[in-house]
């Protein structure tokens, strides 16, 4: 009988332990291999994918199909609860062996555990591996044997392990035995692509989903930006970061591959500033998964329980203005529009838009998390909620509540010429650098020459900076007086 290989968040042929094991076993047994992807939004507590990620997934599955075709492996698409879809595929194909790489969300773990038990009881061998992480969440513990809550000690313990995880080579391309035909959904029928309006034009322009696109981005980054990464990574006006996050989201590239390529690019000098700082960011991704695994409710519930009682002032109109990039704070509006147009936002700007939303505007962090979930091409079940909780101050290793970003000072520091704002907020394109982050301070003549009419062509600030700051400090202080 053919072997089965279940692709999930590991849509790549290289450094993919399940794929490598399945190809090796099929070759040895002189049998065929059927790969499948199950689009599952019906299993209990599964979180439906956001719009931008669906667009990405459509392209990514297309690219994976082409990668697999070189081996003669069909990619079967099925929709429905995995607990039904997978056993039915096993029955249809008569397969006795199934390969997959692990997932880390509680609901997914529950499904995988039950399936493994069910299939094993029916004599089907299930082999699971790790394609997604440098360090499994249960591999590292504090001195007290507990999960980590703070990044630095986590990374101190995890980094030496991470540094030793060599990627698996991609199996040499060879045509396996021909697989029997199995019914498959048509990808188009899943409706992942926008119809009208077509909001994906900016996404198509910005990205090349798929493992080849991921490798190209990695090479480009290593050649042009690794060395200066530590000094320039906070600058949204420069192409200073890797842009690998959406490729990592569905595992078109794995962290072991990134680590090894970085090591090679800097000739083993991983402790130099650029490579050290870049690999540390990969560490934050690992830490997010560590948190998600040990505290599975992080997408909806604050890690610090006292935040359950926080007096958020949820307001639809305020949230809308933020979502549309119409807050009147240029760096924030630039970020929100970059997000809408490209599905991605620079990390520093994510922190600024998040801080304005939850602190100055007192909107619940979950509302920001959900908007990001729907609009980011890298929307990640671990990094998105963990980062939002960090911004809101209710997370594990969070920013202290009294650290409230000032979007004007931050803009002046990290977008000194205002080029980032000019690019994404064209209404301000002709504002001089001295006022681009605070157009309300510009003399009338400057505004007139720049063609800016505050309150008409570009909004006035939706809240005064010190008013918002004082209000937030009072609310947060009431909750965390001890800090
Ligand atoms: P690089 O600077 O090139 O970093 C390399 C890789 O390291 C990234 O691709 C990413 O996988 C990882 N990484 C970097 N910074 C972080 C971080 N702070 N936390 C976790 N991993 C990190 N990242 C996501 O991948 N998905 C999300 O849904 C997400 N939501 C976020 C929400 C908020 C409010 C904030 C503040 C940050 C969020 N991040 C998220 C983290 C970070 O902003 C992005 O990973 C980063 O901007 C991606 O760009 P890059 O690939 O060029 O990063």
Residue 245 counted as an annotated binding residue: yes
Q: pTM of the full predicted structure?
A: 0.98
pLDDT, tens only, 164-205: 999 999 999 999 999 999 999 999 999 999 988 999 999 999
CB atoms inside a 10 Å sphere around CB 86: 26
User: 190, 272, 276, 312: which one is catalytic?
Assistant: 312
**pLDDT computed for residue 19 by the predictor:** 98
**pLDDT computed for residue 483 by the predictor:** 47
Does any ligand 1 atom lie closer than 6 A to the CB of residue 345?
A: no
Q: Would you state the structure tokens that stand for residue 34, as one six-digit string?
A: 């059927």
Residue 378 counted as an annotated binding residue: yes
Give the Å distances, CA to CA, from 236 to 285, 417, 421.
Answer: 20, 11, 9
Residue 480 counted as an annotated binding residue: no
**pLDDT computed for residue 480 by the predictor:** 67
Distance 335 CA to ligand 1 centre (A): 14
Give the Å distances, CA to CA, from 11 to 59, 240, 363, 402, 466.
Answer: 11, 26, 36, 41, 47
Distance CA 479, CA 458 (A): 36
**92 has catalytic annotation:** no
What's the distance, Cα to Cα, between the start and end of the chain in Å?
62
Give the Å distances, CA to CA, from 308 to 243, 292, 301, 311.
Answer: 34, 18, 7, 9
Does any ligand 1 atom lie closer than 6 A to the CB of residue 126?
A: no
**pLDDT computed for residue 467 by the predictor:** 96
Q: Which domains does the chain have, with CATH numbers?
A: 3-131 (3.40.50.620), 133-166+210-294 (1.25.40.80), 305-477 (1.10.579.10)
**347 has catalytic annotation:** yes
Residue 208 counted as an annotated binding residue: no
Distance CA 19, CA 13 (A): 7
User: 388, 390, 406, 427: which one is catalytic?
Assistant: 388
User: 190, 284, 412, 440: which one is catalytic?
Assistant: 284
Distance CA 74, CA 80 (A): 19
Instruction: Point out the ligand 1 atom lying closest to the alpha carbon of residue 221.
Output: 3
Does any ligand 1 atom lie closer than 6 A to the CB of residue 380?
A: yes
Q: Which residues of the chain have pLDDT under 70?
A: 480-483
Distance 383 CA to ligand 1 centre (A): 7
């Amino acid at each position: 009988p053919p072997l089965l290989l279940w692709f999930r968040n590991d849509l790549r042929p290289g450094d993919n332990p399940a794929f490598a094991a399945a190809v090796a076993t099929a070759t040895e047994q002189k049998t065929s291999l059927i790969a499948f992807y199950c689009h599952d939004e019906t299993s209990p507590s599964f979180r439906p994918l956001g719009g931008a990620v669906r667009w990405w997934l459509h392209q990514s599955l297309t690219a994976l199909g082409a990668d697999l075709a070189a081996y003669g492996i069909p990619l079967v698409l099925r929709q429905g609860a995995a607990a039904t879809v997978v056993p039915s595929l096993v029955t249809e194909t008569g397969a006795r062996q199934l390969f997959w790489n692990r997932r880390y969300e509680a609901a997914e773990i529950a499904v995988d555990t039950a399936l493994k038990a069910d299939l094993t009881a029916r004599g089907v061998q299930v082999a699971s591996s790790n394609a997604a992480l440098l360090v499994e969440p249960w591999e590292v513990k504090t001195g007290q044997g507990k999960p980590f809550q703070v990044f630095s000690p986590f990374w101190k313990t995890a980094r030496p392990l991470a540094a030793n995880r060599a990627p698996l080579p991609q199996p040499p391309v060879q045509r396996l035995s021909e697989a029997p035909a199995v019914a498959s959904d048509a990808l188009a029928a899943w409706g992942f692509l926008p119809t009208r309006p077509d909001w994906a034009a900016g996404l198509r322009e910005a990205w090349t989903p798929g493992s080849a696109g991921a490798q190209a981005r990695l090479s480009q980054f290593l050649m042009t930006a690794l060395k200066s990464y530590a000094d320039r990574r906070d600058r949204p006006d420069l192409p200073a970061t890797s842009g690998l996050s959406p490729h990592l989201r569905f595992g078109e590239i794995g962290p072991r591959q990134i680590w090894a390529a970085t090591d090679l690019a800097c000739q083993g000098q991983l402790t130099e500033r650029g490579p050290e700082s870049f690999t540390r960011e990969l560490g934050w991704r690992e830490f997010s998964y560590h948190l998600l695994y040990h505290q599975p409710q992080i997408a909806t519930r604050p890690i610090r329980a006292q935040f359950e009682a926080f007096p958020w002032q949820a307001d639809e109109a305020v949230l809308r203005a933020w979502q549309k990039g119409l807050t009147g704070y240029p760096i924030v509006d630039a970020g929100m529009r970059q997000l809408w147009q490209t599905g991605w936002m620079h990390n520093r700007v994510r922190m600024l838009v998040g801080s304005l939303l939850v602190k100055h505007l007192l909107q619940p962090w979950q509302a920001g998390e959900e908007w990001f979930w729907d609009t980011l091409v890298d929307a990640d079940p671990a990094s998105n909620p963990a980062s939002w909780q960090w911004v809101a101050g209710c997370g594990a290793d969070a920013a202290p509540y009294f650290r409230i970003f000032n979007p004007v000072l931050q803009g002046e520091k990290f977008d000194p010429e205002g080029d980032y704002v000019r690019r994404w907020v064209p209404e301000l394109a002709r504002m001089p650098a001295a006022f681009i982050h605070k157009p309300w301070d510009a003399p009338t003549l400057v505004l007139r020459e720049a063609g800016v009419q505050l309150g008409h062509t570009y909004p006035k600030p939706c809240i005064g900076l010190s008013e918002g700051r004082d209000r937030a400090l009072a609310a947060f202080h009431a909750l965390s007086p001890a800090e």
